[in-house]
Amino acid sequence: MKGSRRNKIFWVVTIFSALAFSAAHIPALLYLYNFPTLADIPPVLYAEIVFINGLISIFAAYYFIKFGFLAAVGIHFWTDIIFHVIWGAF
């Protein structure tokens, strides 16, 4: 497969996986903020979850291609440390 075609397919798959990764974090909102249904979650909170998780997912995919699997795992690990441990402490 040609490089440019493979590159385009990679980024299309990356966008879809970033959206799926973001959507997988939505149930945590129900639990953490005690929302009874998905309809009770404010739209701005949906946008924040999709934007932050999607952006980090795309960033990790880029580093996965450039440096390998451990780079993507490291990005996920350090993002969790920053957002859940450091930010959570404040």
Q: What are all long-range contacts of 44-49, with beta carbons under 8 Å and residues at least 24 apart?
A: 49/22, 49/25
Q: Read off the pLDDT of residues 45-90 as tens digits, 9 standing for 90 and up.
A: 888 888 989 999 999 999 999 999 999 999 999 998 998 888 777 7
Return the amino acid letter for 74. G
Give the separation between CA 86 and CA 84, rounded to whole angstroms: 6
User: Model confidence at 5, in pLDDT bands (50, 70, 90)?
Assistant: low
Plot region of 42 (φ>0 → left; ψ -120 to 50 → alpha; else → beta): beta
